[in-house]
């Protein structure tokens, strides 16, 4: 087993509000290894995107890291001053945002933006940086890259803009890329191309990818391991096969059960009753217990931590006896 590239320990993300401190991400821990695609899934508001922003150091005030530690290649990065984190952002960690227009400046050509990023994080000259930018655009599938490098973002389609954003994230071969819903705004055929591109990056460059999404089809296609989040907590972590084929946590079971099957006919899809609680109104005990068909008294009183059930880990009191007895 290779050493983790990224290690997160007991991360807590808070927001100060007039009603008190809102805890958006509460005590999560996981690691990511070189060349691995680590998927994070869950409903909107579960804390997926905030986790990615905390890793790359882009949490906007009043958001802040309230507790925990983040390590990249054994270097702690969550407490770094802004100017030091800016050197890591882009050079060692790249980010692909859901909407490419939030990452691209409409007033500058894509080539100018790529070249500026390359010059900032490397010792290349301008001519060499331009050739590198053309190579990157060609690598991510932009046709006639030597001509389109001087085009502006509005001259590209949505799928092509997303490819440009991926090229930006790859400018100086970062060891980690955080991809936040990279295929959500794209049609199915373009989604497949972007997925294939991310897989190729992992294979060719040994780049680790944190894939944040609510699309289980994308997770099944590309991820090696998956973490399921609910109300700011991790409820299950395991290999993509274990979590999708044999989920253990009732919430993960509900997510997987809501996916239509090509092999069996059903009159209606499974659904999870109720809605995720507001972050200021998370119930005591397990946050999922008001929606859980298997809840009992302990679920309503005590919050479970992740239990090692081998091969996956699950935060559910239903599996506590298994953990204590050593059974799987």
Provide the whole-model pTM. Answer: 0.89
269, part of any domain:
no
**Sign of the torsion angle spanned by Cα atoms 320, 323, 325, 328:** positive
- With pLDDT > 70 as the criterion, what percentage of the chain qualifies? 94
185, part of any domain:
yes
HEC assignment per residue over 116-159: HHHHHHCCCCHHHHHHHHHHHHHHCCCCCHHHHCCCCHHHCCHH
**CB neighbour list of residue 4: distance below 8 Å, 6 or more residues apart:** 31, 32, 33, 71
Residue-wise pLDDT tens digits, 249-303: 999 988 887 776 666 776 766 778 888 888 888 999 999 999 999 999 999 999 9
Nearest residue to 160 (alpha-carbon basis) of 126, 197, 128, 131: 197
Better-predicted residue by pLDDT, 1 or 170: 170
222, part of any domain:
yes
- Output the pLDDT for position 262: 64
> 162 near 191, Cβ under 8 Å?
no
- Structurally, the chain folds into a number of domains equal to 1
131, part of any domain:
no
Nearest residue to 170 (alpha-carbon basis) of 58, 87, 93: 93
157, part of any domain:
no
Residue-wise pLDDT tens digits, 228-259: 999 999 999 999 999 988 999 999 988 887 77
Residue-wise pLDDT tens digits, 192-239: 777 888 888 777 778 899 999 888 878 888 899 999 999 999 999 999
**Using CA atoms, how far apart are residues 78 and 39, in angstroms rounded to an integer?**
21
Here the CATH number for the domain that contains residue 34 is: 3.40.50.300
Report the chain's C-alpha Rg in angstroms: 21
> 138 near 91, Cβ under 8 Å?
no
Residue-wise pLDDT tens digits, 86-126: 889 888 998 888 777 778 999 999 999 999 999 988 889 99
274, part of any domain:
no
278, part of any domain:
no
Note the helical H segments in the chain: 48-56, 82-88, 110-121, 126-139, 145-148, 158-169, 188-205, 216-222, 240-245, 250-257, 297-301, 320-325
First to last CA, the chain: 22
- Output the pLDDT for position 304: 93
56: containing domain: 6-92+174-251
In which residue are the tokens 């590239």 written? 5
User: Where on the phi/psi map is residue 236: left (φ > 0), alpha (ψ -120 to 50), or beta?
Assistant: beta
287, part of any domain:
no
**CB neighbour list of residue 130: distance below 8 Å, 6 or more residues apart:** 111, 115, 149
- Output the pLDDT for position 258: 72
């Amino acid at each position: 087993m290779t050493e983790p590239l990224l290690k997160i320990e007991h991360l807590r993300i808070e927001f100060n509000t007039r009603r008190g401190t809102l805890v958006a991400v509460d005590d999560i821990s996981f690691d990511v290894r070189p060349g691995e695609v680590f998927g994070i899934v869950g409903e909107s508001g579960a804390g997926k995107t905030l986790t990615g922003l905390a890793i790359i150091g882009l949490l906007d005030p009043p958001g802040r890291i309230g507790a925990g530690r983040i390590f990249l290649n054994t270097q702690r990065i969550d407490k770094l001053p802004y100017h030091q984190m800016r050197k890591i952002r882009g050079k060692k960690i790249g980010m692909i945002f859901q909407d490419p227009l939030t990452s691209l400046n409409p007033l500058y050509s894509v080539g100018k933006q790529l070249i500026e990023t390359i010059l900032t994080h490397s010792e290349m000259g301008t001519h060499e940086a331009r050739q590198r930018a053309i190579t990157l655009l060609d690598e991510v599938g932009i046709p006639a890259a030597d001509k389109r490098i001087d085009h502006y973002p509005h001259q590209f389609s949505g799928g092509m803009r997303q490819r440009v954003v991926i090229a930006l994230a790859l400018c100086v071969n970062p060891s980690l890329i955080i991809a936040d819903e990279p295929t959500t705004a794209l049609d199915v055929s373009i989604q497949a191309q972007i997925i294939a591109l991310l897989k190729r990056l992992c294979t060719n460059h040994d780049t680790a990818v944190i894939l944040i999404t609510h699309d289980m089809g994308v997770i099944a296609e590309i991820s090696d391991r998956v973490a399921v989040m609910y109300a700011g907590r991790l409820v299950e972590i395991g290999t993509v096969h274990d979590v999708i084929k044999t989920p253990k946590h009732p919430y993960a079971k509900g997510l997987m059960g809501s996916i239509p099957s090509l092999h069996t006919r059903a009159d209606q899809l499974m659904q999870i009753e109720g809605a995720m609680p507001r972050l200021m109104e998370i119930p005591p005990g397990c946050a999922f217990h008001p929606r859980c068909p298997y809840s009992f008294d302990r679920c309503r009183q005590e919050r479970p931590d992740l239990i090692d059930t081998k091969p996956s880990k699950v935060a559910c009191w239903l599996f506590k006896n298994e953990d204590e007895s050593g059974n799987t």
